[in-house]
Amino acid sequence: EDQVTQSPEALRLQEGESSSLNCSYTVSGLRGLFWYRQDPGKGPEFLFTLYSAGEEKEKERLKATLTKKESFLHITAPKPEDSATYLCAVQADWGSQGNLIFGKGTKLSVKP
């Protein structure tokens, strides 16, 4: 069964304190791995798509990496405005439009 597990469930950081969020996945055939950011009361906002092991993508203070079993979202010198829930999702099923299977998310709080 396709599955996505995110850890930790919640993470509290001081401003400037770098850290990483983990996303472990089990999928029969990975079509893509997605990272989203979700603010309270809003829909998820797309951050990155990773397609193959070894791939890395960066955007401002965020860097996403991918291996065959997991993905990491590295946050360098975070600021309070980075506080949000970060969602990981995988897309399988090459033969169809494909739906996303989501993890429960990591709630990040960055204190000034």
Partner 1 sequence: ETGVTQTPRHLVMGMTNKKSLKCEQHLGHNAMYWYKQSAKKPLELMFVYSLEERVENNSVPSRFSPECPNSSHLFLHLHTLQPEDSALYLCASSQDLRGYTFGSGTRLTVV
Are 58 and 86 spatial neighbours (Cβ–Cβ below 8 Å)? no
Query: What single-letter DSSP state applies at residue 30?
Result: -
Q: Write down the least CB distance from residue 70 to partner 1, Å.
A: 17
Instruction: State whether the Cα torsion 86-15-81-52 is positive or negative.
Output: negative
Q: Which is nearer to partner 1, 40 or 112 (CB)?
A: 40
Residue type, 27: V
Q: Which is nearer to partner 1, 41 or 54 (CB)?
A: 41
Q: Write down the least CB distance from residue 98 to partner 1, Å.
A: 8
Q: Compute CA 44 distance to the chain's CA centroid, rounded to the nearest angstrom.
A: 11
Q: Which is nearer to partner 1, 79 or 104 (CB)?
A: 104
Residue type, 69: K
Q: Write down the least CB distance from residue 110 to partner 1, Å.
A: 22
Binding site for partner 1 (CB under 8 A): 4, 31-32, 34, 36, 41-46, 49, 51, 87, 89, 91, 96-97, 99-105
Q: Write down the least CB distance from residue 43 to partner 1, Å.
A: 3
Residue 80 backbone phi and psi in degrees, to 5: -55, -30
